[in-house]
Amino acid sequence: DAGVTQSPTHLIKTRGQQVTLRCSPKSGHDTVSWYQQALGQGPQFIFQYYEEEERQRGNFPDRFSGHQFPNYSSELNVNALLLGDSALYLCASSFGRSGNTEAFFGQGTRLTVV
């Protein structure tokens, strides 16, 4: 049973560029959430997708956008990259409408903006 998979594992981008990160949820899960983790901090919620729609959004600018596909996989897009966007980006999957279930995380994508 494959867990949550993310790609790529590492990425280096230049300021001003755009980046797309990908996530496949754990088998049987239909909900995908994205988190940003700066060095030495806990993960911060970016947004959650359920039934191909953004269900909730954290305190992140519109430069951060996402998408969920019919197979439940998801993408996180970040436009106009800033140095401060350098972080570990984590995808979490879970099941169900309530949100009151276990969330399983992938290994993350380490984004470095230079």
Partner 1 sequence: SQQGEEDPQALSIQEGENATMNCSYKTSINNLQWYRQNSGRGLVHLILIRSNEREKHSGRLRVTLDTSKKSSSLLITASRAADTASYFCATAPPGTYKYIFGTGTRLKVLA
Residue ranges in 39-68 that form contacts with partner 1 under rule CB under 8 A: 39-45, 48, 50, 55-56, 58
Nearest of 50, 55, 41, 56 to residue 90 by alpha carbon: 41
Nearer to partner 1, 18 or 101 (CB): 101
Q: Check residue 73 for interaction with partner 1 (CB under 8 A).
A: no
CB of 29 vs partner 1, minimal distance in Å: 12
Q: Check residue 102 for interaction with partner 1 (CB under 8 A).
A: yes
Quote the tokens at residue 64. 């951060």
DSSP for 39-100, please give it: TTS--EEEEEEETTEEEEE-S--TTEEEEE-TTS-EEEEE-S--GGG-EEEEEEEE-SSS--
Of 19, 23, 33, 113, the one binding partner 1 (CB under 8 A) is: 33
Q: Which residues bind partner 1 (CB under 8 A)?
A: 4, 6, 31, 33, 35, 39-45, 48, 50, 55-56, 58, 88, 90, 92, 99-108, 110
